[in-house]
Amino acid sequence: MLRDAIKAATTNAMKARDTARLGALRLIAAALKNKDIELRTGTAPADDDVLVADVLMKMAKQRRESIEMYDKGGRAELAAAERAELAVIEEFLPKQMDEAEALAAIKSVVTEIGATSVKDMGRVMAAVKARFAGKIDMSKASGLVKAALG
């Protein structure tokens, strides 16, 4: 499970006295704890890799946006810190599908559901998110679904 891998990496970073990596891992742990509190579970569900991947994807997106803003603002030192955190976050993200794989997966969902027009986009997106959460970037998936239905 991803949570166990994150905990093990945190322990290893503590032992290695890698403060930059440890800081990023603690940010991940804090975000996961906040998500648990938000869901009122208190503890991790039996198989929560999808939940962890969702939190990691949101964190990665935030880091990418911050990097872009810092680069535009001429704050190279802050952008470098965000890049270091992003590298640690991306270690734990599941492998993302490339565009061809994502399009093939979306087309299979479209045919399985029997979607014929853009009116069915909501149903298709819900099915894609349920099956491929963490493996497909959902912001890119919406464009691919429109293309498959159009």
pLDDT of residue 44: 54
For the stretch 87-120, pLDDT in tens is 999 999 888 888 888 888 888 988 888 888 888 8
Q: Provide DSSP, the chain.
A: -HHHHHHHHHHHHHHHT-HHHHHHHHHHHHHHHHHHHHHT-SS--SS-HHHHHHHHHHHHHHHHHHHHHHHHTT-HHHHHHHHHHHHHHHHHSPPPP-HHHHHHHHHHHHHHHT--SGGGHHHHHHHHHHHHBTTB-HHHHHHHHHHHH-
Q: Is the model's pLDDT at 54 over the cut of 60? A: yes
In order of their start, the domains of the chain are 2-92 (1.10.1510.10), 99-149 (1.10.10)
pLDDT of residue 117: 83
pLDDT of residue 14: 96
pLDDT of residue 41: 61
pLDDT of residue 63: 95
